[in-house]
Amino acid sequence: MALRSKHYAKELMTIHPRTLHPDDLVMDNIKIFEEHKINHVPVVNQDGIIEGLLARRDFESYANITKIIQANTSDPVCVRDVMSTSIFIYSSNIQIVDAAQAMVDNDIHAILIADEKKHLLGIVTSTDLLRHMADRDRYSRFT
C-alpha cells in the first residue's frame, strides 16, 4: 500500500490559505486557529512572499506565552516575534509521497507551496496527507 502513484501536492494543497503579515499583532490574531479550525498559518509580506509559518504550537510555547503576557501596549508582540522561519517550501509539482517524506524526515506537519519567486500558492499539512490516504484507500477497495 505504498504511495507510488504520481500524485502531486497541487492536487491536495489548500489554495489561498488564510495568511498573516509579519507585523500583525499576535493579540489581534490569538483566536485564528480556533475560528478557522486550522493549525498552521503562512506568514507573507505585502508582496505575497513567504517569510515564515505560524503554527498553533508557536502560540502555545512557554517562551512565546511569556512574551505575549509581558508585552505592554507600547511594545506589542508581532507575528514576526513568534513565527518559525525554518520553513520548508516546495514547488506545486512535488509528489505527494515526497511531501510526506519531507514531513517525516524533518518532524514537521506542514509544507508551503510556492512559485519560483517564493510567492505563496498553498499549504499542504499532515491532515491533508491523511485525508488523501483515507480517501484513496476507501475507494481503491472497490476497484
Q: What are phi and psi of 114, to 5 degrees?
A: -140, 165
Neighbours of 37 (CB within 10 A): 6
pLDDT of residue 3: 46
- Helices 96-106 and 126-140: crossing angle in degrees, nearest 10, is 130
Series of mean pLDDT values for 10-residue runs along the chain (143 residues): 68 94 91 93 96 88 72 79 93 94 96 97 95 70 49
User: Would you state the pLDDT for residue 137?
Assistant: 58
The predicted model scores a pTM of: 0.83
pLDDT reported for residue 60:
76
Domains and CATH numbers, the chain: 9-140 (3.10.580.10)
Q: Which three cell numbers stand for residue 59?
A: 502560540
Closest CA to 84 of 106, 61, 55: 55
Q: C-alpha 133: how far from its chain's center? A: 19
> Are the C-beta atoms of 104 and 116 separated by less than 8 Å?
no
